[in-house]
Structure 1
Amino acid sequence: MLKNVVTIVLEEVHPFELGVACEVFGLDRSEEGLPVYDFAIAGAAPGPHRTHAGFTVDVPHGPERLAEADLVIATATDIRDEYPPRIIEALRAAAERGARVLSICSGAFLLGAAGLLDGRRSSTHWRHAAELARRFPLTSVEPDVLYVDEDPVITSAGTAAGIDACLHLVRKLQGAEVARGIARRMVVAPHREGGQAQFVARPLPQEGGDSLAGLLDWMRHHLDQELTVEQLAARVHMAPRTFARRFQQETGTTPHRWLTGQRLLFAQRLLEGTTEPVDVIAARCGFGNAATLRHHFGRWLGTTPQAYRRCFAGT
């Protein structure tokens, strides 16, 4: 279930990361058939909270509001040696009763202070990764990825990676169509796979023949075909090793992982919007057969195609 969402803020509040949570979960998009969340902001105590940008944010709720949450979001704040005990207790209690917990950027330190990262993989902004690992040695910090899903705890890197983590959770719990609808309103990419690098050598592809943008578009329209690195490199007149290196620079991931992610997104759309058999969907998406599709669904999404269809068909 994903209905009641509470965002924790602590001084100094980082406005952009707070805005991410508000934008994804705090707007009424019911006129477009999208879900409406019971969204609230809570702090150690109600009242105005300073931001590092020089203005204040009115926080209407204290830690008791976390008792109702299906999802608790810890947004970025200044890293500190101690966190408010009432927030720590409320956060632990929420996790113990089954709420999901998601951190954006330095919000991971709050989760670490509550013990929620122990025994789990985690992520944060690359600048803070070493400090997170030093403070909380029982977590395995992945310093380069956008987000890590260790259900029920999700941790994400800085700034825009929080959007990716939030949309990932929406997609996981409410289907790809809902996530796409929210992303469309936000004018952001509907999906960036969590294992993608936090930063790439070319954040904006260059114009002309030096960019792989045209090839990526072609690949999206030919997912049903066998696409090897050698074949793709030949299309852009590169040696395979040069192509693989350039692909990593422009996308932050490998050709194989990028293709698998795109094929799974297409499979999710077909499972939600058609009644085609799973074997047919597997072939259309380039997985070849239902067994291979089930394998990737289980590995990437933690479920089966049939279970996904039962949950999200017609949403």
Structure 2
Amino acid sequence: MLTNVAVMVWDGAAPFELGVLCEAFGLDRSQHGVPPLDFAVCSPGGGPVRMAMGLTMQPEHDLSRVRAADLVAVSATPSLGGTPEPVLAELRAAHARGARILSVCSGAFALGEAGLLDGRECTTHWMYTERLQKQFPTARVVPEVLYVDTGQVVTSAGSAAGLDAALHIWRQEYGANIASMVARRAVVPPHRDGGQAQYIARAVPACEAETLGPLLVWVVENLRDDHSVESLARRAHMSPRTFARRFRDETGATPHSWVTRQRVAAAEELLETTEQPVEWIADQVGFGNAATLRHHFTRSRGVSPQQYRRTFCPAAGTA
């Protein structure tokens, strides 16, 4: 269970990406029922850090604090390489003892230097994916996705995608309800799948009436309905081909994959908050039957609905 988080920073650190990690794991949200974490920002020698944009910060801890953490995180690195050796040593030691490792944006380069990306799928900001692959040829760089979770190591794309990866970790450790509370406090969507595109093909038009936003809200509120491309296109007053193209432009996903993700997320919440059987939940979220729900849920979350419920809603049993 996640209880202790340490973030390592050194000269040149990017303040926004560090802020993402502080927002995700450093705020006390216990008044909203979110378990408090022991959170620390650490620097080599415990000395001041000259950050990007002319800022200076003084962390309270040196790198020895990292050895108590069960999640060790690094934010964007200043030069896509040249990570201080004490930082690399702590990353290797943390990985060796089984701690989880998280990088935000170009922080993946520090993981690569530590040898933690060898033979592993990973990602970084889309501007740097080619360089990451060239610099660490045995890594399996996945371009454009928001984040990649290989179990012990989680790498995320630029800036805000680090928050998506952090919420993903919250969800794995404490369930969808707690992750949603963290997201609500940060005023961000509670779940964006790691495989979602980092950016959309074209800018969303400025006129809200021309976007699919209202339709997407309606879909989430009516998951039991038929949401084929044809039915959604009719509702949007577009041809199926135009609608499918516009949908991908605005969301970075196909209509089918986007709707499936919303149904899985809704099922996740119902598994935590109700004692209803899986068959009932499958019907409520639009999967129709328990077998279909099990297929998509297991593929998306890596565990069956029953296993998820046993973890996050033990009182519900194995219904």
The TM-score range, normalised by the shorter chain, is: over 0.9
Could you list the per-position Cα deviations for residues 215-238 of structure 1 after superposition, in whole angstroms to 9, with x for gaps in the alignment? Answer: 111111221123111111111121
2:18 aligns with: 18
CA change 1:250–1:23 in 2 (3 A) is: same
For the pair 1:27 / 2:27, whether they are aligned, the reply is yes
CA contact (8 A) 1:205 1:250 kept: no
2:272 aligns with: 272
1:219 aligns with: 219
Q: How many residues matched? A: 315
Which amino acid in 2 is paired with 1:287?
F
Which amino acid in 1 is paired with 2:286?
G
CA contact (8 A) 2:12 2:49 kept: yes
1:308 aligns with: 308
Per the normalisation by structure 1, the TM-score is 0.96
For residues 79 and 214 of structure 1, what CA distance do their matches in structure 2 show? 42
Which amino acid in 2 is paired with 1:90?
E
For the pair 1:124 / 2:124, whether they are aligned, the reply is yes
CA contact (8 A) 2:47 2:58 kept: yes
CA contact (8 A) 1:205 1:213 kept: no
- C-alpha RMSD of the superposition: 1.6
For residues 83 and 213 of structure 1, what CA distance do their matches in structure 2 show? 42
CA change 1:85–1:304 in 2 (3 A) is: same
Partner-residue secondary structure (3-state), 1:248: helix
Report how far residue 203 of structure 1 moved: 5.3
For the pair 1:7 / 2:7, whether they are aligned, the reply is yes
Report how far residue 76 of structure 1 moved: 0.6
Which amino acid in 2 is paired with 1:260?
T
Report how far residue 253 of structure 1 moved: 1.2
1:144 aligns with: 144
For residues 219 and 126 of structure 1, what CA distance do their matches in structure 2 show? 30
CA change 1:95–1:203 in 2 (3 A) is: farther
Of 74-83 and 29-38, more deviation after overlay is shown by 74-83
For residues 307 and 100 of structure 1, what CA distance do their matches in structure 2 show? 22
Which amino acid in 2 is paired with 1:306?
Q
For residues 52 and 184 of structure 1, what CA distance do their matches in structure 2 show? 29
CA contact (8 A) 1:79 1:109 kept: no
1:179 aligns with: 179
CA contact (8 A) 1:294 1:304 kept: yes
1:100 aligns with: 100
For the pair 1:242 / 2:260, whether they are aligned, the reply is no
CA change 1:308–1:245 in 2 (3 A) is: same
Partner-residue secondary structure (3-state), 1:148: strand
Structure 1: segments with no counterpart, 5+ residues: none
How do residues 273-288 of structure 1 correspond to structure 2 at under 5 angstroms? Answer: 273-288=273-288
For residues 97 and 297 of structure 1, what CA distance do their matches in structure 2 show? 30
For residues 45 and 227 of structure 2, what CA distance do their matches in structure 1 show? 55
Which amino acid in 1 is paired with 2:154?
I
Which amino acid in 2 is paired with 1:85?
E
For residues 204 and 164 of structure 1, what CA distance do their matches in structure 2 show? 21
2:153 aligns with: 153
CA contact (8 A) 2:223 2:286 kept: yes
Report how far residue 302 of structure 1 moved: 0.9
For residues 294 and 75 of structure 1, what CA distance do their matches in structure 2 show? 35
Which amino acid in 2 is paired with 1:238?
M
For the pair 1:198 / 2:206, whether they are aligned, the reply is no
For residues 81 and 124 of structure 1, what CA distance do their matches in structure 2 show? 13
2:56 aligns with: 56
Could you list the per-position Cα deviations for residues 131-166 of structure 1 after superposition, in whole angstroms to 9, with x for gaps in the alignment? Answer: 101001111112211111111111111111111110
Which amino acid in 2 is paired with 1:290?
A
| Runs of 4+ more than 4 Å apart | 202-205
For residues 212 and 14 of structure 2, what CA distance do their matches in structure 1 show? 35
CA change 1:90–1:252 in 2 (3 A) is: same
CA contact (8 A) 1:43 1:59 kept: yes
Could you list the per-position Cα deviations for residues 77-114 of structure 1 after superposition, in whole angstroms to 9, with x for gaps in the alignment? Answer: 21254322222121111112211111000100001111
2:263 aligns with: 263
For residues 178 and 30 of structure 2, what CA distance do their matches in structure 1 show? 11
Per the normalisation by structure 2, the TM-score is 0.95
CA change 1:189–1:314 in 2 (3 A) is: farther
For residues 183 and 111 of structure 2, what CA distance do their matches in structure 1 show? 26
